[in-house]
Amino acid sequence: MAFSTIPTAGLSTGGANFRNLIINGDMTISQRGTIQTGMTSSQYPYAPDRFHYNLSSAGTWTVSQSTDVPSGQGFGYSEKFQCTTANGSLSAGSYAMMRQIIEAQMVQHLKYGTSNAESITLSFWVKSNKTGTYSVWLYQDDDGRSIANTYTISSADTWEKKTITYSPDTTGVIDNDNNNGLRVNFYLVAGTNFTSGTLATSWESDTAANRAVGQVNLADSTSNYINFTGIQLEVGTSASDFEFLPYDVNLRRCERYFQKHDGFEGTASQTTQFQSVQTFHTPMRANPSASISGVLVVTDTDSDYTQSSANGAITAGRVSTTAVQLNFGNFSGMTRFRPTQQNVGANSCHMQMDAEL
Amino acid sequence: MIQSVEKIYYGTDFNYKVIYTDGKEWSVPHDTANRHYQEILEWVAEGNTITDNGGAQ
């Protein structure tokens, strides 16, 4: 069919056009795991992909992928932060925030640093027992510039949809590369170092005191929790409906930053070592780090071999954004140069490849 | 938080074995775009030292 004969009605505006700058905003993908307890320091938790929990001197937390969602909105999951050890007397430098760092080359169409810079609008669903003011602070690394706006949780234990529009930044240029582009930070806790100024409602050279003025302390009770889902950041001054992506598309987008691998095939390079090459499911943002989840079991179809303890590493220099050569030690009794493969599923062992921002 | 970093050699190439205080262990490439490598640089800047045996077995 010629293009001219395709009815425009068929080009539905309801389809995905990747307008959401946030990846996994519906919290569907959770490759690392679904719950992490005892969090007191910053890391990517066993919770929905791409969301980092950044905290210091702000209590202890359990972070999880939750099935508590706003009714009738199409969401299956949210991300939940539950305070398990309170800190009612914050130090000046205390902070806790859920954040996603957007890759710089993904935000070039914001045209920051030019007179054509775009406004952006953040929308999300939130639920907490603790009502009051919360800050969402945006930060761009390349020029150290930031802007912040607040929202109010009005009703305890009730899902509410919030919308915040941020003015364009005509000054700071975001470099066109694979490094940090724009950090979207949802404050949960902020000490006076971050609350004692005047909220930066326009882009400015970042000043810590202007990031979270008025922010409540969500760490002041072990009854406190907050859930987020449906997070969307898009160009413009109004929020459109959340852009749901197919599960497989959402997974692939997350795998640019983190992916799990098993099904290793390779060779016994030594009687104690097994080497394998893995091609990534999708090219990764940068050369990733690697970590093994448990003890590996392999077979040369004659015998099975089990690691005495978990050991898996990148063979130095043998990693790119598309593939990695892995070396597994702590075996014994293997026959050199014999083709060897993983007993898939044994011990649920896999490698984790991490190229997060 | 990083507990220790060891330089691991394979021939003339190397990478880093990083152990975190929560017990997690990562094999980290020498790549400034890698976030774990960036953490190593910060850890060294704080006065910590990478264990480097020069590739001796």
What pLDDT digit, counting tens, does each position of A272-312 carry? Answer: 999 999 999 999 999 999 999 999 999 999 999 999 999 99
The yes-or-no verdict on residue A6 having pLDDT over 70 is no
Q: Is B6 an interface residue toward A (CB < 8 Å)?
A: no
Q: Answer yes or no: are the C-beta atoms of A105 and A178 closer than 8 Å.
A: yes
Q: Rounded to an integer, what distance in angstroms lies between the CA atom of residue A240 and that of residue A246?
A: 18
Give the tokens for residue A169: 């930044």
Chain A residues within an 8 Å CB radius of B52: none
Give, as one character, the DSSP assignment of residue B31.
Answer: -
Give, as one character, the DSSP assignment of residue A43.
Answer: B
User: pLDDT confidence of A4, banded at 50, 70, 90?
Assistant: low
- Percent of chain A topping pLDDT 70: 96
A317/B13 touch (CB, cutoff 8 Å), yes or no: yes
Choose among A290, A315, A319: nearest Cβ to B26: A290
Nearest Cα residue in chain B from A179: B33
The yes-or-no verdict on residue A10 having pLDDT over 90 is no
Choose among A291, A317, A319: nearest Cβ to B26: A291
Element (H, E) at A255: helix A247-255
pLDDT attached to residue A316: 80
Size of interface A-B (CB pairs under 8 A): 64
Distance from CA of A219 to the nearest CA of B (A): 21
A316/B17 touch (CB, cutoff 8 Å), yes or no: no
B8/A354 touch (CB, cutoff 8 Å), yes or no: no
| A327 phi, psi to nearest 5 deg | -125, 125
B24/A356 touch (CB, cutoff 8 Å), yes or no: no
Q: Is B34 an interface residue toward A (CB < 8 Å)?
A: yes
Which residues of A lie inside 8 Å of B (Cβ-Cβ)? 41, 43, 178-179, 285-291, 312-319, 327, 354-357
User: pLDDT confidence of A13, banded at 50, 70, 90?
Assistant: very low
Distance from CA of B17 to the nearest CA of A (A): 8
- Sheet of strand A120-128, all strands in order from the earlier edge strand to the far edge: A35-39, A60-66, A78-85, A225-235, A120-128, A160-166
pLDDT attached to residue A8: 47
The yes-or-no verdict on residue A15 having pLDDT over 70 is no
The sign of the torsion formed by the CA atoms of A37, A40, A46, A47 equals: positive
Picking from B8, B9, B14, B15 by the largest number of A CB atoms within 10 A of its own CB, the best residue to mutate is B15
Nearest Cα residue in chain A from B19: A291
pLDDT attached to residue A67: 98
Q: Rounded to an integer, what distance in angstroms lies between the CA atom of residue A172 and that of residue A25?
A: 26
A288/B1 touch (CB, cutoff 8 Å), yes or no: no
Choose among A289, A313, A317: nearest Cβ to B34: A289
Question: Which spans in A36-140 are helix H?
Answer: none
User: pLDDT confidence of A317, banded at 50, 70, 90?
Assistant: confident
Q: What's CA A348's distance to the chain center, in Å?
A: 23
Q: Is B10 an interface residue toward A (CB < 8 Å)?
A: yes
A289/B10 touch (CB, cutoff 8 Å), yes or no: no
Give the tokens for residue A350: 């896999």
Choose among A286, A315, A317: nearest Cβ to B33: A286
pLDDT profile of chain B (57 residues), mean per 10: 93 91 92 96 97 79
Q: Rounded to an integer, what distance in angstroms lies between the CA atom of residue A300 and that of residue A302?
A: 5
Q: Rounded to an integer, what distance in angstroms lies between the CA atom of residue B50 and that of residue B17?
A: 10
CA dihedral A40, A42, A43, A45 (to 10 degrees): 40
| A248 phi, psi to nearest 5 deg | -65, -35
Q: What is the rounded average pLDDT for all residues in chain A?
A: 95
Q: What is the pLDDT of residues A20-58, one digit of tens each?
A: 999 999 999 999 999 999 999 999 999 999 999 999 999
Give the tokens for residue A148: 């912040």
Q: Is B25 an interface residue toward A (CB < 8 Å)?
A: yes
Q: What is the pLDDT of residues A72-108, one digit of tens each?
A: 999 999 999 999 999 999 999 999 999 999 999 999 9
pLDDT attached to residue B57: 53
Q: Is B14 an interface residue toward A (CB < 8 Å)?
A: yes
The yes-or-no verdict on residue A315 having pLDDT over 70 is yes
Q: What is the pLDDT of residues A208-229, one digit of tens each?
A: 999 999 999 999 999 999 999 9
ipTM of the complex: 0.94
Distance from CA of A313 to the nearest CA of B (A): 5
Question: Which spans in A283-334 are helix H?
Answer: none
Q: What is the pLDDT of residues A120-176, one digit of tens each?
A: 999 999 999 999 999 999 999 999 999 999 999 999 999 999 999 999 999 999 999
| Nearest CA among A86, A93, A81, A101 for reference residue A56 | A93
Say what the pTM is: 0.94
